[in-house]
Structure 1
């Protein structure tokens, strides 16, 4: 069979920018809505799905262990769904990821309880989380590639920023709906059926996202030739095998961003409560305000990077977290004011990374292996350094060395600072690698 030229991407001028942005963003929003809904609602469904242990904590610990299992499926999802995007087209991968997430949410929504089916209940929950972890890992690879390939050359940073804008909206929707249900329903109602509602909503949102994505344009110009075999499809590990330096570069780029992101957006309320005595409710409200501020900052930072370049923002971000994390966290007291100051200041610097992470990653790899090249090393870095941040902080606290956590964060940010300074070239004003 005749083999034609290697895959290229469609010219952004042929794409409808608002439609492409909506297609990528809605799926990412749904993915992260469902992902965070689990963590917010675990305290309610844990005793329904797992057998109760002494003290009532065993079931909750089991629920969070299943959450961690889903996290470590993300590298697999990044590799497999990235390969789908490179072999069959970006739209095929985006369709598959949102279908998987919807299926996982629906399974949780209708999950039988332990009292009804015994051990089958937690087994089905594990299956649902494995499916969702696979989906979330693949979503970043596919939507990152799709977003950046859809952007005009001078707006890739701006388009890139919607990766985390949509992630933040999904997180806020999940926390908001959980809060509304918890405040309007009794504890018994929440534990018996209320916790199912957000997962059912997530399944419905997946269908909406699927309909929006059907109207998007494919960004891989040779997708039809790849599917028919007229162009040789890249192998599953081609990106790692032929581009090892770029794969390691993605890890170096991501280490600081992922631990800073999960610390500042997810773990900081718990840290402030544990170490500074900030009431839990106050810490959560401050975190919500900071998330809204963070969401607004991302497009602004993305546009700034399109003017001044990616490296100045990345260098500023990493240097700030290296130098300011330890004294910043030491400033916390039992009031909301300092927490808002520390978290808000961190969000300014964090947005310098999150707004352009998608663009920087996509600008590293050629089109042929762009999605799979991003997916695996990025998701592996998130699983190893970002997803474990709360666990590392808690483990250090339990061992009596809790004050070491800010130093741990600073050290990892120093790794990325060196990468940005030494190994990363400026890509903002260059064409995407063909």
Structure 2
């Protein structure tokens, strides 16, 4: 089969897929390669979040006599990971556009495996002094770089691997695998805390999930090595050079701004409902911590099941209907939903599941929409940088904005903040062209 050339650029199939695009041969293997690797990436990312208190006790002592330690502690826990995500999106996106999606996917999972191993082997402050927090900061830098690059590479890989009329379905597995990674991290952390007890967790137990994560990364790496390349790279003698680091921003500024507008409301709602809501319920409704965590876990399982449904519906009816369902739904209902959070398990679970239904309108199709905005030549970097930057600005800060508003005695403003940003994204969705039934440039 001869590949179809992109106008103005000589193209050939990569060595890994000489007979045709990956979508024609092994879509299930492609889906598994992206999903398993993505789940491992997010398992490692969330394991750090769930075990941060144990890490802090060993690596960042409260009274160290060294002014660098609390500074490094704050920087590591709250800033480093999200700061590096846009950098990872740009750098790993460029790798995916210049050398292929599979190359970037193998790099990101090895980065995450190495950083997870580094966290697991981080010395305590008692044994290594200030070197301990420095090692942890480096590990967190690598984690942020990996996660930012993972979204750029896996989004393009998933959508380009999909068969005709299946891009929405394939893209929905981005959040299926992300959620499964989060559930695995919380489940393993909870099992260790319950089985080992506080003393052993403080001593060595907190290291186990990270060492396991490094091993999981090797499994993901092995699976990804067998995947087929989805990008048609220029031949060695082609007249057109491979894309530069900032080509997507320079040549497609409107598309880059579109990614920001598409993502802003969605990432704020996502982090509010999947990460911050249990804490919000504790702070503002006085719900028991155990009940809040259980409701959060159950709603995440429900959320994962919804994603393929949303993806399939978008393949049939288009991307704009689910996006508008999400944007308008949250703009109208974020305030009443968050205000209805009570001190009972049932009310919190109901609010979380209702939000998850609305949120699926964004999460199940966002990867497909993002990929359909950019041409293949700069698709990964074009998605990676503006998406990760928007996540860092709005998604990563959601818990801190909510907590800050509570501390200054204005907790009621947070639901309005969520509503307003989702309204902005809904306005962007109204202006989007429908891309579901267009042929994807390869």
TM-score, length-normalised on structure 2?
0.93
Equivalent in the alignment of 1:357: 366
Flag the 1:8–1:238 CA change in 2: closer, same or farther, 3 A.
farther
Structure 1: gaps of 5 or more residues? none
Q: Is the 8 A contact 1:262 1:387 kept in 2?
A: yes
> CA 1:28–1:60 in 2, change beyond 3 Å: closer, same or farther?
farther
2:125 aligned with 1:114: yes
CA contact (8 A) 2:98 2:233 kept: no
Change (3 A) 1:117 1:399: same
The CA deviation at 1:14 is: 2.8
| CA–CA distance in structure 2, aligned partners of residues 412 and 254 of structure 1 | 10
Q: Counterpart in 2 of 1:312?
A: 321
In the aligned structure 1, how far is the partner of 2:59 from the partner of 2:284? 32
Q: 2:111 aligns with which of 100, 106, 116?
A: 100
Q: How far 1:186 sits from its partner (Å)?
A: 2.1
Residue 427 (str. 1) matches residue 438 (str. 2): no
3-state SS of 1:402 partner? coil
What is aligned with 2:3? none
Look up the SS of the partner of 1:317 in the other structure.
helix
Aligned to 1:83: 94
Contact 1:78/1:379, CA 8 A, preserved across alignment: yes
Q: Which runs of at least 4 in structure 1 moved beyond 4 Å after TM superposition?
A: 6-10, 58-64, 228-231
Q: Deviations over 1:198-219 (max 9, x none)?
A: 0000000000000000100000
Question: Hey, what does 1:240 align to over in structure 2?
Answer: 249
2 CA distance for matches of 1:61 and 1:281? 31
Is the 1:6–1:368 Cα contact (8 Å) retained in structure 2?
A: no
Alpha-carbon distance, 1:153 to partner: 2.3
Identify which of 37, 44, 47 aligns with 1:37. Answer: 47
Match of 1:129 among 140, 143, 147: 140
Q: Distance in 2 between matches of 1:250 and 1:133?
A: 20
Output the CA distance in 1 between the equivalents of 2:70 and 2:278: 19
- The alignment covers a number of residue pairs equal to 426
What is the CA-CA distance between 1:13 and the residue it aligns to?
4.1
CA distance in 2, matches of 1:17, 1:341: 36
7 and 53 in structure 1: CA distance in 2 versus 1, 3 angstrom threshold: farther
1:212 aligned partner: 223
| 1:281 and 2:290 correspond | yes
Question: 1: CA distance between counterparts of 2:74 and 2:368?
Answer: 32
1:5 aligns with 2:13: no
Following superposition of structure 1 onto structure 2, how do residues 181-220 of structure 1 map, counting pairs within 5 Å? 181-220=192-231
Give the C-alpha shift of residue 44 in structure 1.
1.0
CA offset digits 1:61-90 (Å, max 9, x no partner): 965641321111000000000000000110
After superposition, the CA RMSD in angstroms is: 1.9
Q: How does 1:122-201 map to 2 (within 5 A)?
A: 122-201=133-212
**SS of the counterpart of 2:185?**
helix
Q: What residue number does 1:405 align with?
A: 414
Preserved CA contact (<8 Å) 1:7 1:367: no
Distance change in 2, residues 1:61/1:297 (3 Å): farther
SS of residue in 1 equivalent to 2:412: helix
Confirm or deny: 8 A CA contact 1:364 1:433 kept in the other structure: no
In structure 2, stretches of 5+ residues that fail to align are: 1-7, 15-19
**1:16-51: CA deviation from partner (whole Å, max 9, x where unpaired):** 011000111111101100000001001112111112
- 3-state SS of 1:107 partner: helix
State the 1:12 CA deviation. 4.7
CA contact (8 A) 1:46 1:59 kept: no
Deviation string, structure 1 residues 242-299 (Cα, Å, up to 9, x no partner): 0000000000000011000000000000001110111111000000000000000000
The answer to whether the 8 A contact 2:23-2:160 is kept is no
